[in-house]
Each structure stands twice: as C-alpha cells, then as structure tokens.
Amino acid sequence: MDAKWYVINTYSGHENKARTNLEHRIQSMNQAQYFEEIVVPTEQVVETKGGEKVQVEKRIFPGYLLVKMILTDDSWSLVKNTPGVTGFVGSENKPTPLMPSEVDRILHTTTVERPKAKAEFVVGDQVRVVSGPLTDFTGEVAEVNSEQSKLKVMVSIFGRDTPAELGFEQVKKI
C-alpha cells in the first residue's frame, strides 16, 4: 500500500503541539511503518515590526497538519485520538487523500521565495514618506539598496537635511 497525504484538523495555534503528540503516539504504539511525514505548512514572510524588517515563519493553513500515511483502521484511530487533533478533513468515516498536485502546490509554497520589491527609485528622486514616524515629510533619495529594499532619503527636518533609512514601501515618488 502506498502512503498518501491527508489533512488533519487541529486546534488553531496548537499545530506544533498536535504534531508532537502525534509523533509520540506513533512511537509509543509502534505504528511508525504507517507514517512517513508530518508537516505544519509554513512560509517565510518578511514583516515590518517597529520599523525593522524581520523574517518570520507564518502558518499557511492555521489549524491544519499534513500527514503522509498509509490509512488503516489502526492508523486512522491513532490520529483521531491524538490530543489536539479534532479529526481528518473529508467525510466522517473516510478521510479524503489530497491530490498529488495539491500536495505539490502546498509544500512548494513553503520554499518559494517572495519576489523582491523592484527598485523604482534612483538617486535624486523627490519622494514623500507615506508611513512611519516621518509620514508626510518629503526628501531626496541619496542612496538605493535594492538587496534590502531600502532607501537613504535626505529629509529636511527643522531646516536641516537629515538622512533617514526607509523601506521602498514607506515612500512614494512625487
């Protein structure tokens, strides 16, 4: 019998705990031959927190795990009775395996690089700050860093040019 991918419902926010519980139950009940892989689908996302860009891991499908397993009465019962697991996705009595194309799409989103923001700015451009503490200030682009999607903008504060490092998304061309 071939192992297939199934979607398992968990309490939202407890995906990793349910995964750990499931792994422990598989070992303690000697059922490892029925289970190949357990995945919490995640992706790397760049967020701005407090003006700093940080890379965080986000769950793609909160409340769900993917499990590659051979479905038998015993393996079905083991998963269903795991703490933190609320059941399989599919009909009550017969979980529905994912299509290979669905699995491919879901698992590849975990490794896909987000396209970098394109540098549409050049040194000398006049820009207006649209977010952050300098909102509504205007300035001139002094430096463009395409790798980090950042600009150094000379902003006039109290009559003096002051350099400010801003993300591409924080400014607009005038």
Report whether 153 contacts 147 (CB < 8 A): no
By the 10 Å C-beta count (0-12 exposed, 13-18 middle, 19+ buried), 1 is classed as exposed
User: What band does 119 get if pLDDT is binned at 50, 70 and 90?
Assistant: low
What count of other Cβ atoms lies within 10 Å of the Cβ of residue 34?
20
Report whether 164 contacts 153 (CB < 8 A): yes
- Percent share of the chain, pLDDT over 70: 90
What is the DSSP annotation of 71-105? --HHHHHHHHTSTTEEEESB-SSSBPPPPHHHHHH
pTM of the model: 0.58
Average pLDDT over residues 43-61: 76
Which of 4, 103, 3 is closest to 61 using CA atoms? 103
Task: Give 108's DSSP letter.
Answer: H
- Percent share of the chain, pLDDT over 90: 52
Q: Tell me what pLDDT residue 67 has.
A: 95
Rounded CA-CA distance 107/103 in Å is 6
Q: Tell me what pLDDT residue 84 has.
A: 94
Domain with CATH 2.30.30.30 in the chain: 126-173
Instruction: Write out pLDDT tens, residues 154-171.
Output: 998 888 899 999 989 899
Domain with CATH 3.30.70.940 in the chain: 4-109
Q: Which CATH number fits domain 4-109: 3.40.50.150, 3.40.640.10, 3.30.70.940, 3.90.550.40?
A: 3.30.70.940
Rounded CA-CA distance 12/81 in Å is 17
CATH 2.30.30.30 is right for the domain spanning 126-173: yes
Q: Is a pLDDT exceeding 60 seen at residue 117?
A: no
What count of other Cβ atoms lies within 10 Å of the Cβ of residue 49?
8
